[in-house]
Amino acid sequence: MAGCSHDCSSCKENCSSREKKSLIKESHKMSSVKKVIAVVSGKGGVGKSMTCALLAAAAQNGGKSTAVMDADVTGPSIPRMFGATERAAGSEEGILPVVTDSGIQIMSMNVLLENEAEPVIWRGSLISGTVLQFWTDVIWSDVDIMFIDMPPGTGDVPLTVFQSIPIDGVIVVTTPQDLVGMIVQKAINMANMMKVPILGIVENMSYLECPDCGRKISVFGDSAVDALALENGIPAVAKLPLDRNLTIAADGGKIEQLKNNYLTEFLNKVYKKLK
């Protein structure tokens, strides 16, 4: 604007200089990612990474070209669940993700380290920058749906992801305890504040099925997930049981080979809510 002093604090004009600029970063020029879903929780220990792995396996088995970005840099577990032991490769063009037996593309701190047990002792800004590089520097090839395994809480990395990566929606993971439900509400509120739609909620460790009579036992108390979903207008709900087969598959790197993936039907409901 003519005669502009470039001091917006004392100016009431609505010129282009005052417009908010998007912080969204473009993915690698050779990447193609159609939809991105963040898997979040308010706290650790609720089975968020397990849920993310099950969602990815269900999507891939359902015919979607799937990828997982492990944004939990200091506590990565995705590669182990899929039995991915090789290191990520790179070239002058960019970083290539590791590909699992069924074709799922994975990028995680653990596929960059020489020793997966090596701790990542970094400050938040460096961790956030690394996660952003997983989006901008990795060549994701023809991905229909990408799941981002987020670190727990509402700190630096979730904020970076929500602001810098074009998230199409969020899936929230919780457990039946009242305390967890209260903390998960914080994650829900953060998604709402960032104007990211919540596509569904998964209650992990929801029940134990008796091997003799088949009765469902609420080990950690009565489920509150339906009420939580109704209160927050969350469209899709799933309840994961305490199932030793899930633990065995995850520990053995065979999450893709599970015959009973509890989240297949849930994921089909999520697809309907994606724009």
**Is 60 exceeded by the pLDDT of residue 88?**
yes
pLDDT of residue 128: 94
Angle at 172 between CA 106 and CA 129, to 5 degrees: 45
DSSP E strands in the chain: the ranges are: 33-40, 66-70, 89-90, 95-96, 98-99, 105-107, 143-149, 169-174, 198-203, 208-209, 216-217, 236-239
Judged against a pLDDT cut of 90, whether residue 52 lies above it is answered with: yes
What percentage of the chain exceeds 70 in pLDDT? 91
Residues 172 and 51: their CA atoms lie apart, in Å, by 10
Q: Taking residues 127-145, what's their average pLDDT? A: 96
Q: How far is CA 248 from CA 56, 86, 255, in A?
A: 18, 21, 9
CA distances from 169 to 8, 191, 244, 255, 271 (A): 34, 9, 30, 23, 10
Q: Write out pLDDT tens, residues 163-194.
A: 999 999 999 999 887 666 777 888 889 999 99
CA–CA separation, 127 vs 275, rounded Å?
A: 30
- Residue 8 above 60 pLDDT? no
Residue that wins the pLDDT comparison between 251 and 4: 251
Res 19: pLDDT:
52
pTM for the whole thing?
A: 0.89
Identify which of 223, 227, 265, 259 has the alpha carbon closest to the alpha carbon of residue 243: 259
